[in-house]
């Protein structure tokens, strides 16, 4: 038993919204995308240039109207373990932002985000799950709770290069590479549309094995499209026999729990701490967020309430990696798109004081 929160997130990860389209995760899209070994290129000399690239991409992701098809893949060893294709439509209208995704293969899933609220529709179980966008991250990505891009930290932990211009979905894209300085993080390669700044593709590679971890790419895309007329920004109402579940809204920010990290992987520090109530839980879950300036790891600490201790170790949740362990009556789970050793390091280092 992995806990209620884990069951919710595993279910949501099977065909839900792409995390880099959620408003709270825009600037950190660079942490979500994938990479191969660094090609020869021109190194960034100034943090200002890195910030400019990330800010431009962040703005484009939620200000532009675009629609298209995205391919997402994850890998296990040398084999492709899973591929998903999603149809995407994004529109910005006055003070509202609208994103709709639907799966094109496998079981049908539809996800609609309006501003910071997400509704995920699961026809197979006749359920609509409603949650804040900060909890909606699914393929390909990591939990993005309150993460902010920190260029000083980034430069301490990564080397940046520009690796030429390539075509993605028929458009010219600047390739930007983030190469880690150690094995506690993955290398990232991003394709950024030269004209608009929109992220078009990405790859992540584990440098310790020289193997791909995941990838995403627009197969086709239209940018600056006109919204349908009329564009009604609203969630469709589910049939009367469907369940509607809400979770994670009553968070308390800037709390100070009695959980402390005795040690952290080099370059990581705590950037947020909060509590949330999840569906099916009588007690609040403590959420700790650690970042190296680019990547984020979220740790969920829940009271096991006398349940049989769950198995300790690494496991996958859709496009996410996780590590869980039992600490007395508490279950500690670290989630993020980072190497397993990093998740284990963070989870094992937490203790109550």
332 has a pLDDT exceeding 90: yes
Q: What is the CA radius of gyration of the chain?
A: 19
* Residue among 177, 180, 208, 205 at smallest CA distance from 191: 177
pLDDT at 17: 30
The most confident of 172-181, 276-285, 292-301, 318-327, by mean pLDDT: 172-181
Tell how far CA 131 is from the center of its chain: 15
Measured CA to CA, the distance from residue 164 to residue 156 in angstroms comes to 24
Residue 152, pLDDT > 60, answer: yes
Segment 258-275, tens digit of pLDDT: 899 999 999 999 988 888
Higher-scoring residue by pLDDT: 300, 147: 300
Q: Which domains does the chain have, with CATH numbers?
A: 4-223 (2.50.20.10), 247-352 (3.30.200.100)
Q: Which two tokens stand for residue 169?
A: 């979905």
Q: How many CA atoms lie within 13 A of 287 on its CB side?
A: 26
pLDDT at 145 over 50: no
Q: Average of pLDDT values for 237-264?
A: 82
Please say if the pLDDT value at position 277 is more than 70: yes
Residues present in the chain in total: 353
Question: pTM of this prediction?
Answer: 0.78
**Helical ranges in the chain per DSSP H:** 4-13, 47-63, 151-157, 340-348
Query: What is the Cα–Cα distance from 258 to 119, expressed in whole angstroms?
Result: 33
Average pLDDT for 17-33: 31
Q: Is it the case that residue 81 has pLDDT exceeding 50?
A: yes
Task: Tell me what pLDDT residue 223 has.
Answer: 94
- Cα–Cα dist 260/194, whole Å: 44
Is the model's pLDDT at 182 over the cut of 50?
A: yes
Q: Residue for token digits 């998740």?
A: 343
Quick: pLDDT tens for 128-140.
988 877 655 443 3
Question: What percent of the chain lies above the pLDDT cut of 70?
Answer: 73
Over residues 161-188, mean pLDDT: 92
> Where is mean pLDDT largest: 17-21, 216-220, 223-227?
216-220
pLDDT grade, residue 167 (50/70/90)? Answer: very high
Cis bond before residue 346 (omega within 30° of 0)? no
How far, in Å, CA of 335 to CA of 160, rounded? 25
Per-residue pLDDT band at 58 (split at 50, 70, 90): confident
116: left (phi over 0), alpha (psi -120 to 50) or beta: alpha
Over range 333-347, report the average pLDDT: 92
Question: Tokens in use for 204?
Answer: 């992540």
Find residue 341's DSSP bridge partners: none
Beta-sheet pairing, 259-261 with 211-223: unpaired
Closest CA to 270 of 294, 295, 289: 289
pLDDT at 187 over 90: yes
CA angle, 17 then 90 then 196, to 5°: 115
Q: Residue 47: what are its φ and ψ, rounded to 5°? A: -65, -30
pLDDT the model gives residue 181: 93
Max mean pLDDT range (6-20, 80-94, 221-235):
80-94
φ/ψ of residue 153, rounded to 5: -65, -40
Strand partners, 162: 42, 176
d(C-alpha 236, C-alpha 208), whole Å: 46
Contact predicate 145/134, CB 8 Å: yes
pLDDT given at position 218: 95
The pLDDT, as a whole number, for residue 193 is 93
């Amino acid at each position: 038993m992995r806990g209620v929160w884990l069951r919710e997130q595993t279910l949501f990860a099977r065909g839900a919204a792409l995390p880099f389209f959620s408003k709270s995760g825009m600037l950190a899209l660079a942490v979500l995308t994938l990479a191969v070994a660094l090609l020869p290129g021109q190194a960034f000399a100034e943090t200002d240039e890195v910030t400019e690239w990330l800010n431009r991409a962040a703005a484009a992701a939620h200000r532009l109207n675009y629609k298209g098809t995205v391919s997402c893949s994850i890998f296990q060893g040398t084999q492709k373990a899973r591929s998903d294709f999603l149809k995407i439509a994004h529109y910005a209208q006055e003070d509202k932002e609208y994103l709709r995704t639907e799966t094109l293969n496998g079981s049908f899933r539809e996800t609609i985000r309006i501003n910071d609220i997400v509704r995920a529709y699961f026809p197979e179980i006749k359920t609509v799950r409603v949650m804040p966008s900060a909890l909606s991250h699914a393929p390909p990505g990591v939990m993005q709770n309150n993460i902010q891009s920190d260029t000083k930290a980034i430069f301490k932990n990564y080397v940046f290069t520009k690796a030429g211009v390539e075509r993605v979905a028929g458009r010219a894209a600047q390739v930007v590479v983030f190469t880690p300085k150690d094995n506690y993080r993955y290398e990232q390669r991003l394709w950024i549309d030269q004209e608009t700044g929109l992220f078009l593709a990405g790859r992540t590679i584990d440098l310790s094995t020289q193997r791909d971890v995941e990838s995403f790419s627009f197969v086709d895309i239209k940018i600056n499209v006109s919204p349908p007329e009329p564009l009604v920004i609203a969630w469709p109402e589910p049939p009367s026999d469907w369940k509607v579940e809400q979770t994670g809204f009553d968070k308390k920010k800037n709390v100070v729990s009695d959980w402390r990290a005795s040690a952290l992987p080099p370059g990581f520090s705590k950037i947020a701490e909060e509590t949330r109530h999840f569906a099916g839980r009588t007690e609040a879950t403590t959420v700790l967020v650690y970042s190296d300036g680019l990547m984020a790891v979220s740790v969920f600490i829940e009271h096991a309430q006398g349940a049989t201790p769950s198995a300790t170790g690494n496991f996958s949740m859709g496009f996410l990696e996780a590590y869980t362990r039992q600490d007395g009556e508490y279950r500690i789970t670290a989630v993020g798109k980072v190497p397993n050793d990093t998740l284990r390091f963070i989870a094992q280092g937490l203790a109550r004081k």
